[in-house]
Every structure is written in structure tokens, then in C-alpha cells.
Chains A and B, each alone.
Chain A
């Protein structure tokens, strides 16, 4: 399972930004989707939250809710919290994973805190929101018919200038 998270890491280099605000061609389509989609109330999905830190980073990082019940087609908000308990600023960068992985294609993050460097000053603690939705097409996919639990996992790594994140087995 950890291997899957590492496989996602190279994407941060593709999307690593100065602006921090999307700018991908999917953004406009995403907005239309969000505005026009309708909740599928008969398909309640439980979303649970994992938080991990790579051994390289000394942050405390945890979800602020253990679970949330959502329906496809409706936007949802959830929170993580991160603290830097050390006396030095630390820059972290996170990636995420969705299980079951086949559900990941329907899991859309509108905005969150991943794939971009986040700097916490010494002793600083911040809320980290995730704003997401499950695409309504999830409810029409027969392969998803028995899926009523999705787990969202974020992992933070320490980001240092010029450092490449470790990719075990993928070098």
C-alpha cells in the first residue's frame, strides 16, 4: 500500500507550481461538473481518513474527524491538522492515496493541501482542509456497487530545496 503512495510522488514535480492555483485545463470542466451535478442520496458512502508522516518529517499530523458520510454528487469538507513541534521551520509536501483504488477515479479533490510545499514555523499548528466530492458516475458503475467505504490517506514528506523525494523501487 505504501508503494502506491510513492508512485504518486513523481506527479508533484509535474504539477509543482509557483502560483498554487490549478490552471490545468480540467479546472473549468470541474466547475461545470460541480455546478450541475446532483446528489445521489441513496448511495451513502463512508469516507475515513488516514494521516501518515514519512520518517523524514517531524510533524504531528492527524485527521480531525475519523469519518464522514457523504453522497456522490455533493461537495464535502474535512479537516486534518498538522503541528511542527520542533524549534525549526519545516517544509512538508504531501501526497495522497484512495482505497479502494478503483474508487479513486471518482474521488475529486476541489482543493486541499497536497502536492504543494507547506511551511510550518516552529511550534506552529494549522488546520488543513480537504474539499472534495465523489463523482455521481460512481453510483452508476457496477464495479462500485458494493463500495460503501472509501479511505483517504495523506502522507507528508519533508521537502528540502533540490531534494528528490525517495521513490523506493521506482528509480
Chain B
């Protein structure tokens, strides 16, 4: 395990986010979507996969309100959620 006093050449290299910073949602325009997402986490035992539809809804809210650059949802990792074919959700308990 590395320690904070590691004198080797390795060090943690923080990287900036790929798409920069989210603008602040000063007026809480997407707060309801956030609440629904967090509620899903609470109900699913904090399982990210189960709550991806609501995560996607939150990001769509941001895009619709100019709080995030518009991106095709496939480029945000939601390709499977927007495909037209019927979806089974085997992870749901």
C-alpha cells in the first residue's frame, strides 16, 4: 500500500474532467430529478446500474435547461437505455 510519504516518482495525478465543469444549477431547476435519482439509490441499496434511467433523466434535464452541453445520450454511456428494442432488466430485484 502506498503511503502519503511515498518518495517514489509515482504520485496521484488529478486530471480535469473530460467535458469540464457542470455549470451550477443556481435555481435548482433539476433538483427534482436529482431527488428521484437519490431515492432510487436508497431503494436499490445504492446500486448505480439500477438507477441509470434516472441518472439519464437528470442529465437530460440539464441539457434541456442549458446546464450541460447537449450530447447524444450514447456518448454518455446510455446507448442501451435508448435503443428501441424492448428491454429486460435482469438486475432489478
Contact = CB atoms under 8 A, between A and B. Distances in A.
Do A and B originate from a single complex? yes
A96 B41 CA distance: 23
B69 A21 contact: yes
A97 to B, nearest CB: 6
B66 interface: no
Contacts of A95: 14
Interface in B1-36: 1-2, 4-5, 10-26, 28, 30-31, 34
Contacts of B15: 11, 108-109
Contacts of B78: 75
Given A65-B38, A110-B76, A118 B24 contact: yes
Nearest to B10: A101
B1 to A, nearest CB: 7
Nearest to B18: A30
Interface string A12-31: 00010101111110110011
Contacts of B30: 127
Interface in B35-76: 37-38, 41, 45-49, 51-52, 55, 58-59, 68-69, 74-76
Interface string A100-116: 11101100111111111
A161 interface: no
A94 B39 CA distance: 27
Contacts, number: 161
A110 B55 contact: no
Q: Tell me the interface secondary structure of chain B in the complex.
A: loop
A115 B75 CA distance: 23
Contacts of A104: 12-14
Contact of B34 (A66, A124, A127): A127
B49 A20 contact: no
B18 A68 contact: no
B18 A109 contact: yes
Contacts of B51: 77
Contact of A97 (B14, B25, B26): B14
Contacts of A111: 17-22, 68
22 contacts: A1-B4, A4-B12, A8-B12, A11-B14, A22-B16, A22-B18, A27-B18, A37-B77, A41-B49, A65-B46, A68-B48, A69-B47, A77-B55, A104-B13, A108-B18, A110-B17, A111-B18, A112-B21, A113-B22, A116-B21, A128-B24, A131-B22
